[in-house]
Structure 1
Amino acid sequence: MKKLFSTITLLTAVSTITPLSAAPLDADQQQLVRELVRSTLIENPEIFVEVMGELQKRERQAQADAQRASLDNNKDRLFNTSGDPFIGNPKGKLSMVYFADYNCGFCKRQDPILEQMVKQYPDLKIIYKELPVLGETSREAAELVLAAHQHHPDIYQKLHQRLMAKPGGHDSASIAAAFKAEGLDVDELRKKVDGTIKATIDNNQRLAAELGIRGTPAMVFADEILGGFTNADQLSDKVKSRLN
């Protein structure tokens, strides 16, 4: 009540000094307004808390609106890009996009959870978008994996799992070893990394930027972006609520 009274007093005083039809305030009137505002805020500092809370609320709403608009504008690029690797049901009722990097520690934790999700929910399809953001070997691995997917699609998932299973980051030797373990010749695959594969990764990076995705892992539904690692229970709830 005290805060409300103080605010009303302030507004009344200001409106008395500056009626709508009045000329601009002179120096004395401006000083009086400043003193009234200052004293009101000093006596009622909780006003700052309320103002900051309202600003944060409006900022969150603006971010949510922008995210929804971006998702709507990029729906085809997310869910209907031909040739993207995926796991799960190709005709599933629910699709989710997964942005990942083979040097990302949190992706290595996220990956088994996604495999669990497609087993738990037969109507789920998870689309992989290679997003190398952690250095040159991230890009090297992504390009070679897409070349493998293009020419040896039956080996893609095992290769993906093997690369994700290595603790820590990759170097060129560990990447080559993973491919060799799956019976693939890295040198031959390097020759098949063409402009289309490079463009796919570039497009993934542009798409992620437009969606406000700054790192990996990131999972995208048609109506929501999950940035960072998401545990099994949380992700299961997200999937279940959209399938029901």
Structure 2
Amino acid sequence: MQRRTFLALLAGLPLAARANTSLADLQAEAARRTKVFQAQLTQLATSQPKHIYFNAADPVIGAPKAARSVLVFTDFNCPYCRKIDPILQQVAQDGSVRFVLKWQTMMADSSADAASFALKVWQAARPNYAQVHTALLQAPIPITPQAMRAIAQQTQTEHLLQLAEPPALASSVQLGQQLRIFATPSMLIGNRVMSGMTDEATLKKAIAEWRVS
């Protein structure tokens, strides 16, 4: 994490600045920015803005009134996102946590189309969402327009394919960029970003260690 932060800082500096800045100064600046970023995460986790944590346009796994809300940055074309989805479903069963899905568009050109379709189903045909969600995660990667049409036909949601892209998708992508989410799956658990594949026990432990104010 420290190395990635340092490299990101270095890449963002003009060549002249790099030439005139010592390694120690660069490391100090990286540490300063990391501290600021961590403070921003803490503020976000503490305040839990309604438009981010409780946006009705975002699909949710788990009880609507669970005590904890975890943001999940995920992509329908991401192999590890597909593997972690059943774990989220299992962890959410006890009713103590809800996973708010913030669909991303990193993995393939069709990621945006798949996420847009899923969000439209969530908003306009919610009883069909679980079936669409599962079918998209089980479709061959990368998801093709033909596969999406077949899923829409099977779930009686074909009429939603032609609707405009929901604003929630752009908002989720923008949030991912603001939080420096460079890979999926990633989760914001309290003020901690957990990236990559994990197992049920590790996820439960991370959630249990998060103190809810």
TM-score by length of 2: 0.76
Is 1:230 the counterpart of 2:204 in the alignment? Answer: no
- Which residue number in structure 2 is paired with residue 131 of structure 1? 104
Please tell me whether the aligned partners of residues 189 and 206 of structure 2 are also in contact (alpha carbons under 8 angstroms): no
> Which consecutive residues of structure 1, in runs of 5 or more, have no partner in the other structure?
1-50
1:214 to 182, 201, 205: 182
Overall identity of the aligned pairs, in %: 20
Map 1:48-67 onto structure 2 (within 5 A). 58=31, 61=35, 63-67=37-41
Map 1:47-196 onto structure 2 (within 5 A). 58=31, 61=35, 63-69=37-43, 71=45, 75-119=49-93, 121-185=94-158, 188-194=159-165
2:173 to 200, 205, 214: 205
| Cα displacement string for residues 151-176 of structure 1 (whole angstroms, at most 9, x for unaligned residues) | 11011112111111234321111122
Deviation at 1:62, TM superposition (A): 5.4
**How far apart, CA to CA, are the structure 2 residues paired with 1:92 and 1:64?**
25
> Which consecutive residues of structure 2, in runs of 5 or more, have no partner in the other structure?
1-23
> What SS does the aligned partner of 1:128 have?
strand
Residues 1:177 and 1:64: Cα distance change in structure 2 (over 3 Å): same
> What SS does the aligned partner of 1:154 have?
helix
Partner AA of 1:226 in structure 2 = M
> What SS does the aligned partner of 2:126 have?
coil
Residues 1:242 and 1:69: Cα distance change in structure 2 (over 3 Å): closer
| Cα displacement string for residues 43-65 of structure 1 (whole angstroms, at most 9, x for unaligned residues) | xxxxxxxx8xx969946655533
Question: Which shifted more, 93-102 or 80-89?
Answer: 80-89
Give the total of aligned pairs. 188
**How far apart, CA to CA, are the structure 2 residues paired with 1:154 and 1:55?**
52
